[in-house]
Chains A and B, each alone.
Chain A
């Protein structure tokens, strides 16, 4: 780790901790986030973590850029990776099926594996939440093993169903709400990913870990899932 501080905007600085995406970044990212929250206290407007960086948006009327840099430096002093509070581990039930995950076929073809092998490989790894973005509660997770990595669709779908689980390059994610999207869909989760009434709003927070658990259609329906085929929406 070689931290650098960069100018982003009048009241924003970027703390760049790493140059590469890696699961081993997260204990450092979590530790730095916690320190920044303490050092900026009420002057912190927003803290946006993403893979290798932490964007610090602070109250620019209360702090000069130099004072903000000082606080970041203070936050980094004797920084140790977080080992105790490594974020929650979520188990997300997923109904993997061609009707809700049409690209299961494409991934089987690309890898030369059977559909059930693709499902087994995707659900056996415990993923890290690197960042949330694109939409409220949309968690970018990784790393998907190299063989399963696949580029986004050339033409994004106009409507991807709520709960859809997809792969793009070496990342995986689930759509919290129906939206346009270009990820390779492989299944659907019945879990509510973003809920304005819930404490913390988003099921997954940066730094959390996620394990996907294959479930049957019956179990998916019992858990409140909507089995409308993807092709009806797109």
Chain B
């Protein structure tokens, strides 16, 4: 068993895995890594299962000290990580010697990065997951929904693996103004003609009101002309449109049911990209179908089998 000591942290450094499933009918949110793809790559680099527990670091602020010699992996945003002052780029596994300090300072590219350990970090399973949901007091290092804090010690148990990097052909680009695919939902026809045109032909700017529950997009006001809705289940990536016409993309910590009309839902690949965008960045939306999106996702997942 090896250990990692948290030297500095903030409310946005969280233990995460794939999230909670099979309990949403009880009002329990999904939780889980906001960028599932980066989490999966971080685990892939160590030969872990794709949803082994990782640390999700948003924007920076985490500093950890190795209590033992170890091999870890980093995937996702470039948060200007350093090991004892030496720059460390993401998308690779790397070694720390006992006593060395790994620090994340500020976002250079992307918003969230994932730190993985051999076989995953140990944490109590609460309702089937260690994923941290502060609002629901579930998951995290002690099981009660706490973010990581200075003084916490995380353990992990897997054997060290040879160091590896993500093949360059698989490196996500994080290029500006990404195009996000939307699986059109049942209410799409109840928005005004102008609104459906606007939704898919205008730039949308990420608002500063963005967290793990949702990201608000600023742009032309979208007008829903349908009947008021009765609350119903809300999927991951749902793009709901409240009465002010400014869409909100709902993420992992969203409420489980809601009554706002929806344009549809982002595909998992689009969600992974959006999770790496910062407030002020611009995105575009593009309609797709459930069938096309599903075929694309099945093909994409082959990459992790290599």
B301 touches A7 (CB 8 A): no
Q: Residues on B close to A: CB < 8 A?
A: 21-28, 126-127, 135-138, 183-186, 230-238, 255-258, 264-265, 267-268, 290-291, 293-294, 297-298, 301
Chain A residues closer than 8 Å to B235, beta-carbon distance: 8-9, 11-12, 55, 57
**Does A106 lie at the interface of the complex (its beta carbon under 8 Å from any beta carbon of B)?**
no
- List 15 additional A-B contacts (Cβ < 8 Å) besides A196-B126, A205-B26: A8-B186, A8-B233, A8-B235, A8-B265, A9-B236, A10-B267, A11-B294, A46-B22, A50-B232, A53-B232, A55-B233, A61-B298, A133-B255, A133-B258, A202-B26
Chain A residues closer than 8 Å to B24, beta-carbon distance: 46-48, 57
**Does A34 lie at the interface of the complex (its beta carbon under 8 Å from any beta carbon of B)?**
no
Inter-chain CA distance A181–B146, complex, in Å, is 22
A47 touches B25 (CB 8 A): yes
Chain B residues closer than 8 Å to A11, beta-carbon distance: 235, 294
B21 touches A131 (CB 8 A): no
B26 touches A201 (CB 8 A): yes
Chain A residues closer than 8 Å to B256, beta-carbon distance: 48, 132-133
B186 touches A48 (CB 8 A): no
**Does A81 lie at the interface of the complex (its beta carbon under 8 Å from any beta carbon of B)?**
no
Question: Which 9 A/B pairs are nearest by Cβ-Cβ distance?
Answer: A55-B233, A48-B233, A9-B265, A6-B186, A9-B235, A133-B257, A132-B27, A12-B235, A53-B232
Chain B residues closer than 8 Å to A45, beta-carbon distance: 21-22
Inter-chain CA distance A202–B127, complex, in Å, is 12
B232 touches A55 (CB 8 A): yes
List A residues 152-206 near B (Cβ within 8 Å). 177, 179, 194, 196, 201-202, 205-206
Inter-chain CA distance A52–B258, complex, in Å, is 13
B27 touches A9 (CB 8 A): no
Residues of A in contact with B, size category? 35 or more
Expressed in whole angstroms, the minimum distance between the Cβ of A49 and any Cβ of chain B is 6
Chain B residues closer than 8 Å to A140, beta-carbon distance: 231
Chain A residues closer than 8 Å to B265, beta-carbon distance: 8-10, 12
Name the residue of chain A whose CB is nearest to the CB of B231: A50
Give which listed residue, B27, B293, B294, contacts A136 with CB less than 8 A. B27
Inter-chain CA distance A61–B257, complex, in Å, is 24
Expressed in whole angstroms, the minimum distance between the Cβ of A132 and any Cβ of chain B is 4
**Does A134 lie at the interface of the complex (its beta carbon under 8 Å from any beta carbon of B)?**
yes
Inter-chain CA distance A14–B290, complex, in Å, is 13
B237 touches A9 (CB 8 A): yes
**Does A87 lie at the interface of the complex (its beta carbon under 8 Å from any beta carbon of B)?**
no
Give which listed residue, A6, A55, A60, A136, contacts B28 with CB less than 8 A. A136
Give which listed residue, A7, A61, A132, contacts B25 with CB less than 8 A. A132
Most buried by B among A12, A51, A60: A12
A52 touches B138 (CB 8 A): no
Inter-chain CA distance A8–B266, complex, in Å, is 10
6 A-B pairs (CB sep. < 8 Å) = A14-B233, A50-B230, A50-B231, A57-B233, A57-B235, A133-B257
Give which listed residue, B27, B137, B138, B186, contacts A7 with CB less than 8 A. B186
Inter-chain CA distance A231–B292, complex, in Å, is 54
Most buried by B among A7, A52, A177, A179: A7
Name the residue of chain B whose CB is nearest to the CB of A13: B290
B291 touches A50 (CB 8 A): no
**Does A135 lie at the interface of the complex (its beta carbon under 8 Å from any beta carbon of B)?**
yes
